[in-house]
Structure 1
Amino acid sequence: MTLPPPPPGSVPPPNGFQPPHGGPSGYPGQGFPSQSWQQTPLQPRPPKRGNGWKWALGAVALVAVIAVTAAVTVSVVDNGDEGGSTAASASPSTAAPANSDIASANDTGPVAVILEDPSCATQSPVISAYAHRTKNGWEKRDPAVAATEWTPDVRAQHEAAGQAFRDAADQLIVSAKLTPHRVMRELYEQFIAYGRAYADSVPTYTPVDNNLAVAAIHAADAIDRICAAIGYGSAGARGPMVPTPPTPSDVAPVREPSDAQKLLSEPNPVCPEWISAKESFGTNSASWAQISPDIPAVEWSPEQRKINDDVVPVMNLFNTQLSALGRQSENPTLRDFADLAVQYRQAYLEALPTYTRADDHLAPTSIRIAALVESACRALG
């Protein structure tokens, strides 16, 4: 299904929510079938409608969010909730210092659909600005052309895009600290790590480095769509229907988001199977992807209903594969992403019998998270 936000008046966003902004397109053809929503990780979206956050009030809203979240941070740390980061392994006892300003520092619980998150307001203008800055011709780049073959104009586009990634990475450190959810922080950290890595690669860019940009793009879009699912109510409506996975035996150690590390620094044995599973899912769900998300379940034609019925076992198989591969990876952050992708896809499956336009962000969240892991695998060559 395609991914633009609901049309004006269909599902009004609540106060303080800004829908996904869109951003630079990634590298088409990396495990996605020909559907446009699957080829390009981020697409332009209309400006926010209705009574959402106005830019004129942005500074005031941001101060308010930070003030409220400060109390959340103290509460989360004192109550000993969850923890985690992007490193490969850690002891269950890993925790941030008692005075940590990372709200998710003690989040060690199971990953689930996120029902609310104060960092959504702070990430919104940052991702919007970075998306705008990378629409300078860079979004139409040929990723197969190495830096040694760039014209001066193309080099300038890449350098500007690299700086946009770097600036957004620096600005999202605040959001990474604000979120009380370990896995949401890990998504921020992956944008930070891969965005910086791409910026660093620009002077000597080779085609494999495009995967660094694509990984960052997928992380940003996953964050945006998690916030969209919260804002449009689908997370709250469908998330509680999904069984919670077991509490992990360990989580990745907490580190400062400013020192975020890439998901994979060396090849992981599950990468080939992950890529293969995702490519197969794209092929086997191609008919489903063509159905407009604007059509609620009560208005599906018999053919559309059959297509949606037929995609259920395809999605269930993909969930089973990702869940197993996450555990086999022995990488706590990759396992968290596998669990999060499964949770959002299962929420979409729960929504299917009574699907409405508001549910459209659930499956794409899962797809973007799976694509982030795929891109991290491909970035290693």
Structure 2
Amino acid sequence: MAVTLALTDTSSSTAGAPTSSTGTPTTSEPAPADTYGLASADDTTAATIITEEPTCTQWRSIVEKLVQDEYNGWNQRDKTGSRDRSRDQWTPEERAQYDQVAQALRRAADEAVALAKQTPHRIIRELYEQFIAYARAYSDAIANYTPHDEPLAGVMNSATQAIIYICSAITNKTAAARVILIEPVEPPTRFEPLHDPADSKPFMPEPDPVCSEWDALGDRLEQSPVVQAWGQLGGGIPASHWTPEQRDIHLAAAQFHNEFADQIEQAARRSDNPVLQDLAILSAQYRRAYAAAMPTYVLDDAYLEGVGANIFSLIWAACQAAEN
């Protein structure tokens, strides 16, 4: 991460400035900006498949506790119905379920702050920060919930799942096995200023110009006959057991995923939002790795596609939340 420097202002006066032995004022060395204890403060690398992540075990523990609270009946709520009704139209049971989940999300967000500081990877930190920001935003919205608040939960859920899938790909050695199959991409040209993860804010408070492209990409993904045929097969059969017809479907899907990843990256690089760029290009890289793995697909490769899909959904939901 690029570190912003705080420069001492000596332009208006040299009074009180340190002097040399000859009495000539000397210029103080710039003091580095606060890195807020971030292990990733100096990470300026390009997005790529993550093969090691020290926070995975703690993250799984946080998510397990969160899921237990979400299984209070909230997880089985009528999602379509709740999106059409405001809080004042909920039953007392629904209000209790949502309020319990709001409290659980605040706790999980607070616990994730330490992980955002500990991870050595800038983009993993950004995922944690967006979980924190949107979990808190959704929790705050529950007190006066309207259907317009629902996309906040979409961002939060997608961030949660993206990190889980990244960790699963690491644990199952898929990430290490497949990272060698993809080409590196160009590193970022701009970075989000460092901040304390405890003060994380939504990365898209206003709609980004790329959102219209994201909507078009999402429609293309959902309407593609190739993707629909691939989805009907599921991911439960390894390549070694495919029929010739199944192989043709999978390889056609691989080509689609590669092209789709290119379109994601091209759209992301047109954005001035450095967090959106980071997340989108990471999504593209995982999708490329999944496509490259297709000829020798094993079941654990599905985690790669899970990362790509969840980060894509995260950005899509963030666009909807910003538009609301």
TM over 0.5, shorter chain: yes
- Does the CA-based 8 Å contact 2:134-2:152 persist in structure 1? yes
| Aligned counterpart in structure 1 of residue 53 of structure 2, from 117, 130, 135 | 117
- Does the CA-based 8 Å contact 1:108-1:248 persist in structure 2? yes
Is the helix fraction higher in 1 or 2?
Answer: 2
Write out the 4+ residue segments of structure 1 that deviate beyond 4 Å after TM superposition: 95-100
Alignment of 1:257-272 (within 5 A): 257-272=197-212
Q: Is 1:207 aligned with 2:143? A: no
Structure exhibiting the larger radius of gyration computed from Cα positions: 2
1:153 and 1:96, CA in 2 relative to 1: closer, same or farther beyond 3 A?
A: farther
* Displacement of 1:140: 2.6
Q: Is 1:105 aligned with 2:45? A: no
- Does the CA-based 8 Å contact 1:146-1:206 persist in structure 2? yes
Letter in 2 for 1:375: A
Q: Is 1:333 aligned with 2:271? A: no
Q: Where does residue 281 of structure 1 map in the other structure?
A: 221
- TM-score w.r.t. length of structure 1: 0.74
* Displacement of 1:120: 0.7
Q: Deviations over 1:118-158 (max 9, x none)?
A: 01111110011111211112123332211121111111111
| Aligned counterpart in structure 2 of residue 139 of structure 1, from 30, 51, 75 | 75
* Displacement of 1:316: 2.1
**Whole-Å Cα distance in 2 between the matches of residues 201 and 333 of structure 1?**
23
Q: Is 1:161 aligned with 2:101? A: yes
Q: Where does residue 297 of structure 2 map in the other structure?
A: 355
Q: Where does residue 304 of structure 1 map in the other structure?
A: 246
Say which is worse superposed, 96-105 or 239-248, in terms of deviation.
96-105
Q: Where does residue 190 of structure 2 map in the other structure?
A: 250
- Does the CA-based 8 Å contact 1:281-1:315 persist in structure 2? no
Letter in 2 for 1:291: L
Q: Deviations over 1:246-295 (max 9, x none)?
A: 12111111111101110200111111210220231132212212223221
- Does the CA-based 8 Å contact 2:255-2:291 persist in structure 1? no
Q: Where does residue 24 of structure 2 map in the other structure?
A: none
Give the paired residue count. Answer: 292
Letter in 1 for 2:89: E
Letter in 1 for 2:243: S
Unaligned runs of 5+ in 1: 1-81, 85-89
**Whole-Å Cα distance in 2 between the matches of residues 223 and 352 of structure 1?**
22
**Whole-Å Cα distance in 2 between the matches of residues 128 and 306 of structure 1?**
38
Residue identity (%): 38
Q: Is 1:370 aligned with 2:312? A: yes
| Aligned counterpart in structure 1 of residue 257 of structure 2, from 295, 307, 315 | 315
Q: Is 1:290 aligned with 2:232? A: yes
Q: Is 1:195 aligned with 2:149? A: no
Q: Where does residue 50 of structure 1 map in the other structure?
A: none
Letter in 1 for 2:276: L
Letter in 1 for 2:48: A
Q: Deviations over 1:24-78 (max 9, x none)?
A: xxxxxxxxxxxxxxxxxxxxxxxxxxxxxxxxxxxxxxxxxxxxxxxxxxxxxxx
**Whole-Å Cα distance in 1 between the matches of residues 300 and 73 of structure 2?**
32
- Does the CA-based 8 Å contact 1:165-1:199 persist in structure 2? yes
| Aligned counterpart in structure 2 of residue 128 of structure 1, from 64, 69, 83 | 64
* Displacement of 1:350: 1.3
* Displacement of 1:372: 0.2
- Does the CA-based 8 Å contact 1:212-1:379 persist in structure 2? yes
Q: Where does residue 54 of structure 1 map in the other structure?
A: none
Q: Please state whether the residue corresponding to 1:204 is helix, strand or coil.
A: coil
Q: Deviations over 1:140-189 (max 9, x none)?
A: 33322111211111111111111111110001111111110000000001
